[in-house]
Structure 1
């Protein structure tokens, strides 16, 4: 555990500038300040200037660590003493598990029985207790309620929580601060919307001109449709290579996105795989498919980005290298 623990106040509304600054200060000793990388060949390919915030180098290999710590520090000491709980088959599970380990409290993670073995092993490696369930949203929530009732652990939602949103915002805050040029656009992929909402708030409060745009697979385009209809839409299926983006928006993430995000661009599965491969080959770094969605959108809609300064959050690098899509 860090030597000095900063307790944060619970948030009952979207975080403001002061909330985000306090959050960044509170979590900085728990997370890495990840680098911003550039690549000349990708700039030429995209006809714009790209700045990649590499959260694939974050602790647990993904941005989710920021939101998990932010939410945990908003609990009282008494609430934290009972441990943390969540349901997740991926990066959020690892983030909550490691956060609990650093705080020296228990972690109780509900995971589907068919979760990737590499992610199960990572959660176990952080000392968390795993309860398995069927891989449906209803079964995850049902099992989680039983775990919380039995243990008294505090539930850390994967995205639909203002504290989580505040934590995720710190990635874009650092991106904006570390890029010398004034960014025109800051992009994030959209799943449950925690990162997208946080990115939009960071652009609003810490940039003079940047707008926040989202990107999403066409096969799970609930966020793009929600932006158009003005209400939360859901996906009928969740099949996409970008497995981190299969979740529908929550009420709190939609609230911010609807107000602060003017565009969510959609791309095909083929375009996602192509963009992912280009980043692997040109930048020599490992990213997961979900990370590639914003870059795929830049390549898909070149007229929107030509000549602009574009920041892209590469969300994580937890990928099964035995099952690459290319």
Structure 2
């Protein structure tokens, strides 16, 4: 399907700007500069997010030090409520609480549950598996301190987009054998599920928002290839997925990650996991955090949040 016209117009404008003011290749730019640019762009594209969501910032302990988190509480939310522990995207290198603030507000407001966004450590300063360690530690903390944040420990889910979807899937596998911390759901939005470049979409979908160059840069800085714990990163290559929590896997039609997301949903089903796959064929990677670009984003967010609400009760 052709790209959503609103996104097509935005990307054409960005292309013209890039041609008029060219930047060096991304691997010649400091990560801090790329982070700042990404944050400014995504915050500007999410001004229309729901405002009737209270937020509270604090830290939780982790194996590498304190981890900043932000708790979202929509107006009128029950106490206790379901809780989504959320990990932002950005290739484990960029992204933060601000880039995904509008997206988390929509999920909290539309699903009527609390959301705890996790500002995990980023590569290259904190290479693999530190982001995954932080994600697991924050989720474990949420279970163990559910009463302090208005959450029902029997209704806790993990979720994330892109690299954050990878973190959510990884945590779901890390905890599937823990009888004291039973995840109710995993929300995987265009997730990274493999370190391999073998799918058709990884060979043909170079952009528009996630290019092969950027994806390779992310992987290089993360440093997970060949690591003894690479199974925590390449979740789609794990043999035994039985016992994982129910899942919703969302993919975008214009995205190099779409085939591995679909394949992961199918592999979960084959392992006996209640998994659903939904694709938005006209949308690009990263669409959830560009809420002001197209009405299709809010529509998708509402549909996704409805499934999250049904899963958490």
TM-score, length basis structure 1: 0.33
TM-score between both structures, scaled by the size of structure 2: 0.34
